[in-house]
């Protein structure tokens, strides 16, 4: 393996030139030195025809792993060039059950059935077929069937013998699981304790029963949180009878974490669907338009609020409209973002709603007092009347406190009703805070200025 290579435009141009020259020999040497993730990155930067050419040069076992690393659209293009027999023999046979199930799950129903029927290893095909029955966003949809397990009634010698057999089908051994005669999970086995145990010792005497597991129906986000909370690299999956049926490793949930982060970021940015930069103009428009319309309606409501109050005699209030709207929106988004993050990593419990609201009220009050004092001095120093400066200062304090509480309350409410709280960090809360903030501002202004 060579040193890490930077995949930049110059490197891609070099690869493209070799493909154009049909220099398969040199390309094969380059590919052999590249890490799987680097090969996938190169393929993503090539045209689809060049990607097909390069992919055909990758050795069979490595090409299967590269497919797993690719984006969905690119993988679909490359798979479309393979027959069901080639997919079964060159791809599926070289992957563990979880990755194989992900690949097959993207095929059409007819092609899926044909590929499954062409897998020579019946047990492997059965494992994949079983995994395909679980929804993608559950522990069952993430897990792999390949694992190392030993019976509590075995002794250390028998245990080592059986582990050698099982290890042939497992590419990476993270944990040794201990089960009873009915395949019920009892605990885990430390390799160190196994090696230090007296010859012929019973496994039940050295098993560690302090083990965390998840049901196959567990939500994938909860699985990621459990792995993170307990600092685990692997997590056993059990059925409703606590029988061991698979295991999830930390790398299995990395894609989940990434996808959830991307989805929340898009939602917070006002994009209602999961989109990619390669999507069509219509798909991108459809994802963005709903929140743009909401923002537009918020603007109309804001204009209506301004029209309700008498600005003819207090026209100077209009000077600070951008300030009030911006501060209300920013404070609301800050509060909402903290709550959404707490809900996502499970550090904030729904039972603590009242305490969180009180705390955010205190934060909003302190921030509001500091900002209102600053704006009082700044406005008066810029030549505005003391009456107007005091009005803006008090209004700003009220708007900040309201926005902080509102920004905390909305995501908690959405979570309670099983709606993605990430909605609260986007244009929704900004728009509402703008409208209500302006109402508070002009109402206080009318009271004080008149």
How much is the pLDDT for 312?
75
Tokens of 398: 């009220």
Q: Which of 14-18, 57-61, 298-302 has the lowest mean pLDDT?
A: 298-302
For the cut 90, the answer to whether the pLDDT of residue 335 exceeds it is no
Residues 118-147 have a mean pLDDT of 93
How much is the pLDDT for 212?
95
* DSSP codes joined into one string, 370-385: HHHHHHHHHHHHTT--
For the cut 90, the answer to whether the pLDDT of residue 367 exceeds it is yes
Task: Compute the C-alpha angle 142/346/229, nearest 5°.
Answer: 65
Q: Which residue has the higher pLDDT, 188 or 311?
A: 188
Chain position carrying tokens 């694992």: 147
Pick from 236, 253, 178: nearest CA to 209: 178
Confidence of residue 350 (pLDDT cuts 50, 70, 90): low
Mean of pLDDT over the chain? 86
Q: Which residue has the higher pLDDT, 308 or 144?
A: 144
* CA–CA dist 163, 195 (Å, integer): 13
Please say whether the dihedral angle defined by the alpha carbons of residues 93, 97, 102 and 108, taken in this order, is positive or negative: positive
Q: Which of 89-98, 215-224, 297-306 has the lowest mean pLDDT?
A: 297-306
Q: pLDDT of 371-383, one tens digit each?
A: 999 999 999 999 9
CA distances from 305 to 210, 309, 321, 372, 436 (A): 61, 7, 12, 23, 9
Residues 35-57 have a mean pLDDT of 93
Residues 373-402 have a mean pLDDT of 93
Query: How many Å separate Cα 203 from the centre of its chain?
Result: 39
Residues 129-151 have a mean pLDDT of 93
| Structural class in CATH, domain 281-449 | mainly alpha
How much is the pLDDT for 1?
45
* CA–CA dist 96, 66 (Å, integer): 13
Domain definitions of the chain by residue range: 9-136, 148-250, 281-449
Question: What count of residues does the chain have?
Answer: 450
CB 65 within 8 A of CB 98: no
Q: pLDDT of 212-270, one tens digit each?
A: 999 999 999 889 889 988 999 999 999 999 999 999 998 888 878 777 776 666 665 55
* CA–CA dist 336, 326 (Å, integer): 15
Instruction: Please state which architecture CATH assigns to domain 9-136.
Output: Alpha Horseshoe (1.25)
Instruction: Return the CATH number of the domain spanning residue range 148-250.
Output: 3.10.580.10
Residues 189-203 have a mean pLDDT of 86
Residues 45-65 have a mean pLDDT of 92
| φ and ψ at residue 187, rounded to 5 degrees | 170, -160
Q: pLDDT of 65-93, one tens digit each?
A: 999 999 888 999 999 889 999 999 999 99
Answer whether 148-250 and 281-449 agree in fold: no
Q: What is the pTM of this model?
A: 0.69
Count Cβ atoms below 10 Å from residue 85 Cβ, excluding itself.
11
Q: Which of 49-63, 119-133, 425-439 has the lowest mean pLDDT?
A: 425-439
Q: pLDDT of 261-294, one tens digit each?
A: 766 666 655 555 565 655 677 777 776 777 778 7
CB 394 within 8 A of CB 372: yes
* CA–CA dist 34, 63 (Å, integer): 12
């Amino acid at each position: 393996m060579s040193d890490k290579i930077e995949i930049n435009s110059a490197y891609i141009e070099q690869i493209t030139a070799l493909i154009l020259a049909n220099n398969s020999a040199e390309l094969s040497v380059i590919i052999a030195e590249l890490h799987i993730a680097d090969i996938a990155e190169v393929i993503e930067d090539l045209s689809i025809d060049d990607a097909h050419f390069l992919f055909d040069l990758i050795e069979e076992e490595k090409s299967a792993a590269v497919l797993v690393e690719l984006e969905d659209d690119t993988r679909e293009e490359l798979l479309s060039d393979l027959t069901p027999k080639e997919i079964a023999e060159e791809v599926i046979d070289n992957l563990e059950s979880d990755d194989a199930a992900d690949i097959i799950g993207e095929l059409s129903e007819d092609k899926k059935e044909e590929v499954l029927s062409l897998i020579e290893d019946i047990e492997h095909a059965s494992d994949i077929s079983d995994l395909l029955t679980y929804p993608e966003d559950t522990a069952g949809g993430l897990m792999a069937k390949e694992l190392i397990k030993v019976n509590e009634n075995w002794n250390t010698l028998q245990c080592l013998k059986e582990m050698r057999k099982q290890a042939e089908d497992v590419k990476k051994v993270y944990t040794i699981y201990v089960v009873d005669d009915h395949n019920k999970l009892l605990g885990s086995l430390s390799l160190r304790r196994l090696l230090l145990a007296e010859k012929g010792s019973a496994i039940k005497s050295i098993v560690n029963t302090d083990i965390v597991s998840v049901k196959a129906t567990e939500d994938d986000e909860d699985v990621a949180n459990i792995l993170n909370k307990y600092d685990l690299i692997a997590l056993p999956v059990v059925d409703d009878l606590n029988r061991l049926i698979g295991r999830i490793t930390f790398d299995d949930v990395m894609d989940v974490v990434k996808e959830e982060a991307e989805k929340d970021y898009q939602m917070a940015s006002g994009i209602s669907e999961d989109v990619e930069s390669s999507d069509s103009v219509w798909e991108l428009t459809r994802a963005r338009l709903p929140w743009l319309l909401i923002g537009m309606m918020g603007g109309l409501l804001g204009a209506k609020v301004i029209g309700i109050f008498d600005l003819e005699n207090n026209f100077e209030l209009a000077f600070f409209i951008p300030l009030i709207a911006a501060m209300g929106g920013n404070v609301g988004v800050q509060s909402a973002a903290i709550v959404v993050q707490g809900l996502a990593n499970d550090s904030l419990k729904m039972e603590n709603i009242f305490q969180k609201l009180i705390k955010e009220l205190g934060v909003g009050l302190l921030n509001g007092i500091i900002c209102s004092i600053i704006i009082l001095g700044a406005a008066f120093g810029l030549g505005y009347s003391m009456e107007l400066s005091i009005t803006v200062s008090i209004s700003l304090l009220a708007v900040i406190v309201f926005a902080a509480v509102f920004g905390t309350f909305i995501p908690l409410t959405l979570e309670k009703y099983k709606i993605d709280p990430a909605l609260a960090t986007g244009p929704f809360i900004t728009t509402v805070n703008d409208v209500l903030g302006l109402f508070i501002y002009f109402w206080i202004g009318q009271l004080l200025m008149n």
